[in-house]
Amino acid sequence: MRAQPNLRDILFTLNGSIIPVIVGRLAVIGFVCLVAILAARLHPGIFARISAIPFTLIGIALSVFMSFRNSTCYARWWEGRQLWGQVIVACRGLARASAGLDPTARRSLLTSACAFAAGLSARLRRRDEHAALARWLPDEDMADRPNPTDRVLQLAGARLAELNLSGQMGEIRWSVLEGHLAQLSAAQAACERIASTPVPFAYSLLLHRTALIFCLLLPFALAGSLGWWTLLPVLLVAYTFFGLDALSHQLEDPFGQALNALPLDAFCQTIEREMQDALAG
């Protein structure tokens, strides 16, 4: 977690900033500003009939609309974070509840937990799911399975059922362990729902077009009265609108690989480290 930004960070930090994503659009708006300023200086009064009042009203409406979209996308990101927290909690529960089991059976169960996390991460990021699972379960053939990650839970559940039927594990422990597997399955289904249901395209397109048109036309409303100072408010508005728009786009897919997406690799490493520590005893 990064510390609260200081003045130096605010002015100069680019790592973690949205500026590299929107610098091209800011350059276009800056160029339009220069064109408007030069036109106003060469032909005084050319923009006199363009009032800034409509832009004020449109800007307020656009800000509310953009804030609503940003909140919607952040809610998706936060739900994804909660679901991966649920995955970590369920894996820890498996490690705790499986203590005292036959060492071979316990190793198989906790290895399956690591495989599930790796498979889920690969599935959500559209990577090679089979390769991620093969690292932990090299002897399992998942090639013909439509959902290999869920298959890991099915195999783990089947092994637990066998232990229960053979008398190697009591009903209460079996019920607790099966409950943790159910939590993992529920988390996977919810993550897949988020990943497969983006914010409607028409909804995002409307906001993109409105913000772009607003920022392109704003310089012509201000150039006549502000002159070279037009660059300051226009670029500030463009940075805010384009930045929020780009940030919302990143948060919309919390499992992607954008800078502000969830650190799925770090979550998987946490699970792997804790499962291996539990096995080491």
pLDDT digits (tens, 9 = 90+) for 181-216: 999 999 999 999 999 998 888 878 888 888 999 999
pLDDT at res. 168:
87
Q: What average pLDDT does the chain have?
A: 89
**How much is the average pLDDT of 238-243?**
91
Confidence of residue 178 (pLDDT cuts 50, 70, 90): very high
Q: What is the pLDDT of residue 141?
A: 82
22 pLDDT higher than 80: yes
Q: What is the pLDDT of residues 67-114, one digit of tens each?
A: 888 899 999 999 999 999 999 999 999 999 999 899 999 999 999 999
Give the pLDDT of residue 5.
Answer: 61
What's residue 200's pLDDT? 84
User: What are 131-173's pLDDT values in tens digits?
Assistant: 999 999 998 888 788 999 999 999 999 999 999 998 888 899 9
DSSP string, 138-194: TT---TT-S-HHHHHHHHHHHHHHHHHHTTSS-HHHHHHHHHHHHHHHHHHHHHHHH
CA dist 218 → 116, 121, 177, 212, 277 (Å): 51, 43, 61, 10, 59
Least-confidence region, from 25-34, 138-147, 268-277: 138-147
Span 121-137, average pLDDT = 94
Count other C-beta atoms under 10 Å from residue 27's C-beta.
11
* pLDDT of 269 above 70: yes
Report the pLDDT value the prediction gives residue 128, as an integer from 0 to 100: 92
| pTM (predicted TM-score) | 0.86
d(CA 216, CA 199): 25
What's the pLDDT at 194?
96
- Residues 6 or more apart whose CB falls under 8 angstroms from that of 241 comprise 62, 66, 211, 214, 215
